[in-house]
Structure 1
Amino acid sequence: MDHENSHLTENYLYKLISEELEKDTFGREMCTRFPPEPNGYLHIGSAYAIHTNHTMAKKFNGTFHLRFDDTNPLKEDLKYVNAIIEDIKWLGYDPGEHIYYGSDYSDEFYNAAVTLIKQGKAYVCDLSPDEMREYRGTLTESGKNSPYRDRSVEENLELFLHMKQGVYPASAKVLRAKIDMKSPNLTMRDPVIYRIIHAAHYRTGNDWCIYPMYDFAHPIQDAIEGITYSLCSLEFRDHRPLYEWVLHELKLPEPPRQREFGRLNLTGVVTSKRFLRQLVEGGHVDGWDDPRLPTIRGFRRRGFTPDSIRSFIEEIGSIRAYSTVDISLLDHCLRQDLKDKTNSVMAVLQPLKVVITNYPEDGLEWLSIENNSENESLGRREVPFSRTIYIERSDFMENPPKGFHRLTLNAEVRLKGAYFITCEEVIKDANTGEITELHCTYDPLTKSGTGFTGRKVKGTIHWVSADHAVTADVHLYEKLLLDQVAAQDDEGDWTDRVNPESLVIVQDAKIESSIAEALPEQKFQFFRHGYFSVDPRYTTADRIVFNRIVPLKDSWNKR
């Protein structure tokens, strides 16, 4: 059994559907759908919902639909449609030819509403939004019937037609389902199913000025497409009675079934569209693809792989209730995926110049260094070594504490894949006292790969040849939020909780020459620093910009 299916044996949703189908099957194949509203970009929570629907369809040998819930022209845009299609395909859940649009069913929505009016199950209401909230009641108090609830079928049909013809301004009238204003479920207290919106739609133009609410359109869309299971996150549980009511009143044969799964929350991450929009429009981040955002576009630009995201979701398994997952699990899945796919290179982020005084001034040799990867197919690479190199500034200390096994004065350390060097002299700026360079000597007998078995040193540090290094900028990312808990959607203003050190830009890093021809989104392991990806937005022909995808664990820096 493959990794994906092994999780399904423990998947409560799969078990539930299997048991239901044994008792009452459909006369059509399994069909699920993911119905995003094209008013924003997909995020990690969306990926979980996509995976859930796609996996169930695959497990039952069915089909998976992507259907845009585009029945609100005030918020939706074609750019979001294109982005969502691109992101879903990149994630590996390509719906193929099964891409649909709710707006294509406008006539069916309208005819369904007319059917309900003729059955006495819907009425046109003139209450203002404020009045409607007052009449609705609360969780502890029943609602009150609208004074317009008992309009005749003929009057409702005429008023609804006039709504369609654009006779009334927005908010002047709505169409409501006639259910039960005393229902303990507030969703069933005569919900609005149609409203007036005078705005051009990105697909239908000005053909319509009335648009269905999602709770009304959702079951009708599912029925039209032959969806068998509408798999939704838990916040739609209270909406299921309305979903079933619409299908029952319209007398649709073999109606689809709505079932819910738990919602994914990650520590330190907010996926609220409202909050994400605050961050983008307020200039707190660098657009919707900012690598700190939990959007799929942000993950991709940062350097995440589709395999790592899918592996993360599979590791979580089926969530039955609201659940918070530590983001470190996502980092773990990312490292596991990248370690066998990326070439390792040496990169010095905070360079300190080192002159090897006993190395020939015009000396140059190419050293064969193995990739720091478990994938043997990545092989070895040739790295230039010369008299002047750069090392990491933090790899040298004049007065080191106990346990420091890197370079210090009159002590020896190994250069990775090269020689042992000993620091003989520290050069400092006369005004600031800052260390500007080190003068070291090397032992030519200690060359790596020559079978040297003499004295041993505890520390190995990385380096790059000064004459051959590529200069690059490096973006280091930390958690976007100071809080390490998951945030529920739309709770307050989170912008004052943005971590001011969530992005650190390191300029003029020195990286070995093998990355000179790196392409956008190409990934590398920087020895001892972590995994990095070439930023597709800011990289130019003259300067490479790297995004740190995820760091490696550094026991010394933690101490």
Structure 2
Amino acid sequence: MTDAMPSNFIYDAVRADVEQGRRGGRVQTRFPPEPNGYLHIGHAKAIVVDFGVAADFGGICVLRLDDTNPETEESSFVDGIISDIEWLGYEPADVRYASDYFDQLYRWAEELIEKGLAYVDDQDGEAISAGRGGYGKRGINSPFRDRPVDENLALFRRMKDGEYADGSRVLRAKIDMNHENMQLRDPIMYRIRRVPHHRTGDTWSIYPTYDWAHGQSDAIEGVTHSLCTLEFESHRPLYDWFLTKLAIPDAPRQYEFARLELTHTVTSKRRLAKLVMDGLVDGWDDPRMPTLRGLRRRGYPPVAIRSFCREVGTTRTNSRQSIEALESYVRRELNATAQRRMAVLKPLKLRITNWPTDASGAPVVEHFELANNPERPEDGTRLVPFSGELWIEQDDFQEVPPPKYFRLSPGREVRLRGAYFVTATDVVKDDDGAIVEVLATHDPETKGGNAPDNRRVKSTMHWVSAAHAQDAKVFLYDRLFSAEAPGERTGEALDDLNPNSREEVAGCKVEGALADVRPGEVVQFERLGYFAADLDHPMLFHRTVGLRDEWAAIQKRG
């Protein structure tokens, strides 16, 4: 599939390379996530960019799992990443792993040692960190920086053979301990970690750092354009240094673009993992999570996510996009595609006192033909049963209505969607004085919700026939974080966690047709919003988005 991005500097750069015949006019990109968590909305933009550039220039995009840290990586994350990319609508040309190149990376590390460009450091992590100095603060050379090549080579091989304890030695590149770019102050290339790897098992006792493996993996795979987010801009000189010193021909070019950040959202893997581990959400696929699997369970259509990411485009300026803008894309797509159904979340009985009965005394049942989606006539219609007892929303009746309340109240007439006009006449209360039933009369001349005398009513309400209703449960969602920029006030995003981000509503009454909704399918509950059928539990629905376009209102105010 082709998902063209709006004109942007990355497209301009790739187009120039193709027109000038660089690398034979070939375009190959890659999407390189670390398998230490599941993909989130920020990754979605990177996926759209990586795959979109490749597709639009007739190239290929490879999925490469940068699996260099066995302490945090799992096969389940690998499987989840592959599944999420497919759900988003993309098919990688190939699936590869940084661990495929561990042997080559090791040989290249020995080559740098032999050239006097890498050395084994016996200092611990604290000493190494202190020695690197800081911005405006000079670094200090390691006392082991000038070890002879032969000694470094022997020590490195013994590290590989598992002779030393974790953390006792590292391999560092010998660059410049006073470089203004901190990434070039003798960065670590290998650490000793006696941890089984999810693919290589116990083969290795040392593992390459991400920065050492990343650029070289791109080169091995023949990547022509390495597309990264802005936080990797300072890493680019290090990647170029490695590639130059190893004399790797046709090295990839790296271009950085702004990552996608949303209001009321965090995309830090560390914080997302903490939400899961601390039980603050139900898991990585909790519909409140910004993970792709969470958005999938919430009912976000992948086409809407792709469209939003393309529209945001690629710039070199970090900014926080409004979550309401993303929701507007979701709403627009669902308005065009979702089937309409009626559901009552907080039911109140409505009994029509003048409803006819048949010869046996049972209430007559009529059926009304309602459109499945007015936006798509080809979706046809459905027959919805109607009888003398109905469920309506508790909020749709007020015994003593406030000003400008146009729904049902004593003496007021309203339209029941597609059925009849009804007028409330009385109420039934329980011993505590709570209303348990509303009594009303219907006008038989208004069948189908039409008024032959052209009289007007100010409200149309949804309903469900009590005798035909199905029971359901829904989850209603608010923002997971109450602050637009979580953590801006205190420095810790979790301080802004919204304790009321989810409301569970049981005992809902819904159309019988909702029992046939497929797992994951999104339908519009009329007047209430869009709801996704849970992937695992029948008759459980998650509110995807409401009907009100908050983004349009924000733009209008702006």
Aligned match of 1:506 = 505
- 1:69-468 maps to which residues of 2 (within 5 A)? 69-96=66-93, 98-361=94-357, 362-431=363-432, 433-448=433-448, 452-468=452-468
- Cα offsets for 1:268-322 (capped at 9, x unmatched): 0001111111111111101110000000000001111111110111121123221
Aligned-partner Cα distance in 2 for 1:517–1:379: 16
Aligned match of 1:494 = 493
Is the contact made by 1:339 and 1:373 (CA closer than 8 Å) also made in structure 2?
A: no
TM-score (normalizing by structure 1): 0.95
Aligned-partner Cα distance in 1 for 2:175–2:316: 30
Aligned-partner Cα distance in 2 for 1:190–1:92: 41
Is the contact made by 2:373 and 2:379 (CA closer than 8 Å) also made in structure 1?
A: no
Alignment partner of 1:54 is 2:62: no
Is the contact made by 1:278 and 1:495 (CA closer than 8 Å) also made in structure 2?
A: no
Aligned-partner Cα distance in 1 for 2:412–2:457: 9
Instruction: Sort the Cα spacing of 1:166 and 1:320 in 2 relative to 1 into closer, same or farther, 3 A.
Output: same
Aligned-partner Cα distance in 2 for 1:135–1:369: 73
- Cα offsets for 1:28-48 (capped at 9, x unmatched): 621000111111000000111
- Cα offsets for 1:124-179 (capped at 9, x unmatched): 11111111111101101111111111111111110000000001011111000000
The AA in structure 2 aligned to 1:477 is: Y
Secondary structure class of the residue paired with 1:243: helix
Instruction: Sort the Cα spacing of 1:320 and 1:150 in 2 relative to 1 into closer, same or farther, 3 A.
Output: same
Aligned-partner Cα distance in 1 for 2:492–2:455: 60
Secondary structure class of the residue paired with 2:438: strand
Secondary structure class of the residue paired with 1:355: strand
Instruction: Sort the Cα spacing of 1:26 and 1:169 in 2 relative to 1 into closer, same or farther, 3 A.
Output: same
Is the contact made by 1:342 and 1:373 (CA closer than 8 Å) also made in structure 2?
A: no
Aligned-partner Cα distance in 2 for 1:516–1:174: 60
Please report how far the alpha carbon of residue 3 of structure 1 lies from its aligned counterpart in structure 2 after TM superposition.
Answer: 9.6
The AA in structure 2 aligned to 1:461 is: M
Alignment partner of 1:528 is 2:515: no
Aligned-partner Cα distance in 2 for 1:4–1:283: 37
Instruction: Sort the Cα spacing of 1:198 and 1:492 in 2 relative to 1 into closer, same or farther, 3 A.
Output: farther
Aligned-partner Cα distance in 2 for 1:554–1:341: 17
Is the contact made by 2:343 and 2:464 (CA closer than 8 Å) also made in structure 1?
A: yes
Identify the match of residue 547 of structure 1 among 522, 539, 542.
542
Is the contact made by 2:487 and 2:495 (CA closer than 8 Å) also made in structure 1?
A: no
Please report how far the alpha carbon of residue 468 of structure 1 lies from its aligned counterpart in structure 2 after TM superposition.
Answer: 0.2
Please report how far the alpha carbon of residue 518 of structure 1 lies from its aligned counterpart in structure 2 after TM superposition.
Answer: 1.9
- Cα offsets for 1:414-456 (capped at 9, x unmatched): 100000101110111222x211101101110111276734422
Aligned-partner Cα distance in 1 for 2:20–2:152: 41
Is the contact made by 1:348 and 1:463 (CA closer than 8 Å) also made in structure 2?
A: yes
Secondary structure class of the residue paired with 1:467: helix
Unaligned runs of 5+ in 2: 358-362, 554-558
Identify the match of residue 8 of structure 2 among 11, 23, 28.
11
Aligned-partner Cα distance in 1 for 2:151–2:497: 54
- Cα offsets for 1:194-253 (capped at 9, x unmatched): 111101111111111111111111111011100011111000000000000010000011
Aligned match of 2:360 = none
The AA in structure 2 aligned to 1:517 is: D
Secondary structure class of the residue paired with 2:414: strand
TM-score (normalizing by structure 2): 0.95
The AA in structure 1 aligned to 2:39 is: L
Is the contact made by 1:275 and 1:493 (CA closer than 8 Å) also made in structure 2?
A: no
Aligned-partner Cα distance in 2 for 1:263–1:318: 9
Is the contact made by 1:264 and 1:319 (CA closer than 8 Å) also made in structure 2?
A: no
Aligned-partner Cα distance in 2 for 1:492–1:449: 56
Deviates more, 1:316-325 or 1:305-314: 316-325
Deviates more, 1:457-466 or 1:317-326: 317-326
Aligned-partner Cα distance in 1 for 2:480–2:200: 39
Aligned-partner Cα distance in 2 for 1:364–1:115: 84
Is the contact made by 2:387 and 2:465 (CA closer than 8 Å) also made in structure 1?
A: yes
Unaligned runs of 5+ in 1: none
The AA in structure 1 aligned to 2:351 is: V
Aligned-partner Cα distance in 2 for 1:509–1:251: 67
Percent identity over the alignment? 48
Aligned match of 1:472 = 472
Aligned-partner Cα distance in 2 for 1:266–1:355: 47
Aligned-partner Cα distance in 2 for 1:379–1:452: 26
Aligned-partner Cα distance in 2 for 1:419–1:449: 5
Is the contact made by 2:406 and 2:459 (CA closer than 8 Å) also made in structure 1?
A: yes
CA RMSD of aligned residues (A): 1.8
Please report how far the alpha carbon of residue 496 of structure 1 lies from its aligned counterpart in structure 2 after TM superposition.
Answer: 3.3
Secondary structure class of the residue paired with 1:84: helix
- Cα offsets for 1:452-510 (capped at 9, x unmatched): 3442211111100000011100100111001022668xx95433321121100110111
Aligned match of 1:485 = 485
Aligned-partner Cα distance in 1 for 2:140–2:215: 27
Instruction: Sort the Cα spacing of 1:434 and 1:231 in 2 relative to 1 into closer, same or farther, 3 A.
Output: same
The AA in structure 2 aligned to 1:70 is: D
